[in-house]
Amino acid sequence: MTANLQTIMDRVRNKDYAVQNEAKKAGGSAVAGLSGLLRDPDEEVRQLAVYCLSATGDTSAAGALSSAIFDSDPQVAMAAAKGLMDVATPADAPTLKKALGAQPDGLVRRQIALVLGRIASPADLPELKKQWEGELDGSAKQGLTAALSKMGDRDAQDAFKKALAGAIGVSRLPYLELAEYISQPWLLKPLKGVLSDRHDVVRIAVDGIDDMPQALRTCDLGVVLIAAIGGGRWSFQVLRNKNFTTQQLDEVAQWVDTHAP
């Protein structure tokens, strides 16, 4: 073991959260040592080890993170599931499908489902759909709906459209985040309905900056999503910190009418 790796492991044991920067620099060379810390009796040490494994950005960390989603501490399991979004590969799908059925925490299952939606193959679709149909936890069901939608399942896509249309204001935020995750053209028409939702949902005001709005509205987030998914170009610039005018919102809506599949 190199001196640098030993230092990283010691800092994890000492709960020095700045060590994540060193793990990022070390990359895959730190994976084996950090994986051993997942057996530490202190859940905070295990959680920081998971953060560091994620920070390596190396696909070799996926095996250790996949084992960590079975951790008895839900915070450790959630951290592992989030870390897998960037490093998991199709080879990790069998372990993640097992975790989807075994993990008791609905929020963790939600995150596992989102990872599977990115890496699973069409052959996994029937098994995941069966899990979706029997899922009773709302958070996990939401994640499975998005994952299956991303994988092309029409029933899940219809369910997602219905949920997006039925929500309003702040309750729409999770679906807008999931729409960004799915990021497919069939979302353009459903997102048009968001353009009429003028509720404030995200406060962004910063003291001392006069030209920044107090909050972003649902419709503002909808414009950004439609631009990102559909590649639309309009007479105005799309910024993430802007309240769009009624005229601009109408322009986007008209574009969707003529360009959405």
Q: Give the tens place of pLDDT for each residue, 119-155.
A: 999 999 999 999 999 999 999 999 999 999 999 999 9
Q: Do both 149 and 221 map to the same domain?
A: no
Domain edge (last residue) among 131, 166, 201: 166
Domain edge (last residue) among 166, 197, 228: 166
pLDDT given at position 259: 94
Which is it for the CA torsion 195, 171, 202, 140, positive or negative? negative
Q: Give domain status of residue 171, yes or no.
A: no
What are the residues facing 216 on neighbouring strands? 202
Q: Do both 78 and 117 map to the same domain?
A: no
Confidence of residue 58 (pLDDT cuts 50, 70, 90): very high
Confidence of residue 2 (pLDDT cuts 50, 70, 90): low
- Mean pLDDT, range 220-233, rounded to an integer: 96
Q: Do both 104 and 80 map to the same domain?
A: no
**Structural domain containing residue 160:** 90-166
**Residue 209 above 60 pLDDT?**
no
pLDDT given at position 214: 82
**Residue 208 above 80 pLDDT?**
no
Q: Do both 99 and 160 map to the same domain?
A: yes
Q: Do both 3 and 81 map to the same domain?
A: yes
CA R_g for the chain: 21
Q: Give domain status of residue 80, yes or no.
A: yes
pLDDT given at position 3: 55
Prediction pTM value? 0.91
**Residue 204 above 90 pLDDT?**
no
Q: Give domain status of residue 228, yes or no.
A: yes
Structure tokens belonging to residue 113 = 């489902």
Q: Give domain status of residue 176, yes or no.
A: no
**Residue 20 above 60 pLDDT?**
yes
Domain edge (last residue) among 36, 67, 87: 87
pLDDT given at position 206: 61
Q: Give domain status of residue 177, yes or no.
A: no
- Residue 255 to residue 234: CA distance in whole angstroms: 8
Confidence of residue 250 (pLDDT cuts 50, 70, 90): very high
pLDDT given at position 1: 53
Q: Do both 2 and 83 map to the same domain?
A: yes
The structural domain count of the chain equals 3
Number of other residues whose CB lies within 10 A of the CB of residue 236: 14
Q: Do both 81 and 126 map to the same domain?
A: no
Number of other residues whose CB lies within 10 A of the CB of residue 173: 14
- Residue 191 to residue 12: CA distance in whole angstroms: 44
157 contacts 202 by C-beta, under 8 angstroms: no
**Residue 235 above 90 pLDDT?**
yes
